[in-house]
């Protein structure tokens, strides 16, 4: 049969991989949006210099920078934590609150967020290629009527691809510098950065920054 011939030629493998990638991106979306991004619990009182993974770099900060209690939830904030007004919690290594996920991106789900963006980008590029291959251009009203849905789909995919690509590239750049979106945007308002002698006291080199983040 035609189905068997297509299977023998490997033509069914690509649609299967595409569907699996779409399912993977959906699962990653729910995983990142529903998981704990690193909420600071009241029972997890952190002593100065004991913040996970930051002991080596805290020594480079001025001695008068002390851990402070959050004015909203009254927990003692670890270094690099921030209170999120939407989530009503302090989040460890706070990056940003994502409105599409309805959740914060922080210490625990930031690596999975990067994986989600990467898979989503692959899906969008693949879908854009398929949509483009189905288009043949003619300057006629009939062509536009028959291809309007495919054309709109391609334009939407193109817009989302640009957005996801820019978001992924910007996050990878910040990760390679061992900084967060919040620290990058609010450097002048954060005490441990404003009073530091170094531009970025957490930067340990691109390789080590990436290794600590992903591994």
Residue 95 forms part of a structural domain: no
DSSP string, 9-68: TTTTHHHHHHHHHHHHHHHHHHHHHHS---BPPTT-PPPTT-STTTHHHHTTS-TT----
Residue 67 forms part of a structural domain: no
Contacts of 215 (CB under 8 A, 6+ apart): none
pLDDT value of residue 205: 93
Q: Nearest CA to 206 among 214, 194, 198? A: 214
Q: Nearest CA to 68 among 85, 86, 45? A: 45
Per-residue pLDDT of the chain (215 residues; tens, 9 = 90+): 555 555 555 567 888 899 999 999 999 999 999 999 999 987 665 444 444 444 444 445 555 556 678 888 888 888 899 999 999 999 999 999 999 999 999 999 999 999 999 999 999 999 998 888 777 666 666 766 777 788 888 899 999 999 999 999 999 999 999 999 999 999 888 888 887 778 888 999 999 999 999 98
Q: The pTM is what?
A: 0.82
Residue 84 forms part of a structural domain: no
Residue 85 forms part of a structural domain: no
| Whole-angstrom distance, CA of residue 166 vs CA of residue 184 | 16
Q: How many domains does the chain have?
A: 1
pLDDT value of residue 192: 83
DSSP string, 72-124: TT--BPPTT-EEETTTTEEETT--EEETTTTEEE-TTTHHHHHHHHHHHHHHH
Both tokens of 83, joined, read 């209170």
Residue 92 forms part of a structural domain: no
DSSP string, 194-207: HT-SSS-TT---HH
pLDDT value of residue 58: 45
Residue 44 forms part of a structural domain: no
Q: Nearest CA to 78 among 130, 70, 15? A: 70
pLDDT value of residue 44: 62
pLDDT value of residue 53: 46
Residue 8 forms part of a structural domain: yes
Both tokens of 165, joined, read 């690509």
Q: Which domain holds residue 191?
A: 2-37+100-214
pLDDT value of residue 55: 41
Catalytic residue numbers read 98
Residue 140 forms part of a structural domain: yes
């Amino acid at each position: 049969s035609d189905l068997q011939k297509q299977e023998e030629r490997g033509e069914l493998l690509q649609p299967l991989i595409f569907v699996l990638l779409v399912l993977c991106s959906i699962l990653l979306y729910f995983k990142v949006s529903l998981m704990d991004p690193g909420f600071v619990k009241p029972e997890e009182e952190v002593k100065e210099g004991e913040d996970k993974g930051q002991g080596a770099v805290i020594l480079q900060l001025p001695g008068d920078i002390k851990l402070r209690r959050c004015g909203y939830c009254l927990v003692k904030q670890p270094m690099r934590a921030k209170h999120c007004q939407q989530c009503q919690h302090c989040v460890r290594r706070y990056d940003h609150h994502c409105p599409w996920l309805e959740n914060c991106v922080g210490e625990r789900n930031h690596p999975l967020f990067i994986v989600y963006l990467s898979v989503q980008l692959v899906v969008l590029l693949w879908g854009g290629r398929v949509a483009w291959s189905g288009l043949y251009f003619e300057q006629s009203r009939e062509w536009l009527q028959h291809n309007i849905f495919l054309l709109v789909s391609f334009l939407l995919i193109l817009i989302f691809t640009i957005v996801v690509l820019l978001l992924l590239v910007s996050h990878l750049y910040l990760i390679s510098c061992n900084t967060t979106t919040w620290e990058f945007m609010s450097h002048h308002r954060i005490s441990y950065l404003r009073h530091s002698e170094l531009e970025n006291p957490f930067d340990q080199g691109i390789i080590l920054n990436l290794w600590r983040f992903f591994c």
